C-alpha cells in the first residue's frame, strides 16, 4: 500500500455544533466530556439544547468528564480506503466502530492500536487522541490494556 495521500488533509475536520463547544474545547486538554441531564440522570449524546430522554431544559444539562472507557457495540473494517475517500489510514484498511461509553452513551470512532479485523463487539477500549489542525483533538479508541480485552 502507498502513502501517497500523506500530503492531503488526513481527516475531515468536524464542525463545532451549536451545543458542542465545551466538548471540543475540552479535547484540547485531552478530556472527554459527556453532556449529562441532572433531571433524569442520563447521558446525552450528541449534545443538545434540551434532554431528549426527559425533555428537561438546557438548565438541567451539565458537562461531566467521562472515564474514557468504553465497550465496542459494533465494528467493521473499511477495505477500500480510496473508495471511502479518506487518507488517515495511509491507504490501509481501518476499523470504524460504535462504542458505548461507561456513561451510557454511544459514539462513532476508529479503534486503533491493533489490527482492524481484531476489533469486535464487546471488546474493552479506552480513549486516545488524534490532533486536529486547529488544536482540537479527535477522540479515537484503542484496546484497553487495564481491563484486558
Partner 1 sequence: MGVVRVDRTLRGAAAIVGVDDDVSPTGELDRTGRELEVAMVLGALEDAGLTLADVDGVCHAESAVAFAEYLGIHPVFTDSTMTGGSSYEVHVEHAAAAIAAGVCDVVVSVYASTPRSDRARRRPSARRVPPGPNPTLEWDLPYGLRTPMGPYALAAARHMHEYGTTSEQLAQIAVSTREWAELNPRARYRDPLTVADVLASPLQVSPLHLLDCCLVTDGAGAFVMTSAERARTLRKPPVFVLGAATCTDHMGISQMPDLTTTPGVVSGAHAFAMAGLTASDVDVLMGYDSFTITALLHLEDLGFCAKGEGGPFAAEGSLGPGGGPLAMNTNGGGLSFTHPGMYGMFLITEAVRQLRGECGDRQVEGADVAVAHGSGMLLSVMSTAVLGTEATM
List of residues contacting partner 1 (CB under 8 A): 11-18, 20, 46, 73-81, 83-84, 86, 88-89, 94, 96, 98, 106-110, 117, 120-122, 138
Q: Give the nearer residue to partner 1 in terms of CB position, either 39 or 98.
A: 98
In the bound complex, what is the minimum distance in angstroms from residue 8's beta carbon to partner 1?
A: 13
The string of DSSP codes covering 25-76 is: HHHTTT--EEEEETTTTEEESS--SB-TTT--BGGGEEEEE---EEEEEEEE
Q: Give the nearer residue to partner 1 in terms of CB position, either 55 or 76.
A: 76
Q: Give the nearer residue to partner 1 in terms of CB position, either 110 or 143.
A: 110
* Cα first-last separation, the chain: 29
In the bound complex, what is the minimum distance in angstroms from residue 146's beta carbon to partner 1?
A: 23
Distance CA 103, CA 98 (A): 14
Distance CA 103, CA 8 (A): 36
Handedness of CA 63, 136, 114, 1 (dihedral sign): positive
In the bound complex, what is the minimum distance in angstroms from residue 98's beta carbon to partner 1?
A: 6
Q: Give the nearer residue to partner 1 in terms of CB position, either 76 or 145.
A: 76
In the bound complex, what is the minimum distance in angstroms from residue 77's beta carbon to partner 1?
A: 4
Amino acid at each position: 500500500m502507498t502513502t501517497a495521500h500523506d500530503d492531503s488533509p488526513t481527516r475531515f475536520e468536524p464542525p463545532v455544533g451549536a451545543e458542542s463547544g465545551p466538548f471540543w474545547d475540552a479535547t484540547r486538554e485531552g478530556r472527554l466530556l459527556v453532556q449529562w441531564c441532572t433531571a433524569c440522570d442520563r447521558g446525552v449524546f450528541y449534545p443538545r439544547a434540551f434532554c431528549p430522554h426527559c425533555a428537561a431544559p438546557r438548565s438541567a444539562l451539565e458537562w461531566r468528564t467521562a472515564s474514557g472507557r468504553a465497550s465496542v457495540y459494533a465494528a467493521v473494517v473499511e477495505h477500500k480506503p480510496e473508495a471511502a475517500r479518506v487518507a488517515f489510514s495511509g491507504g490501509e484498511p481501518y476499523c470504524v466502530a460504535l462504542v458505548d461509553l461507561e456513561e451510557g452513551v454511544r459514539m462513532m470512532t476508529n479503534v486503533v492500536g491493533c489490527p482492524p479485523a481484531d476489533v469486535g463487539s464487546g471488546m474493552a477500549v479506552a480513549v486516545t487522541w488524534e490532533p486536529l489542525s486547529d488544536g482540537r483533538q479527535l477522540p479515537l479508541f484503542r484496546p484497553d490494556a487495564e481491563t484486558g480485552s
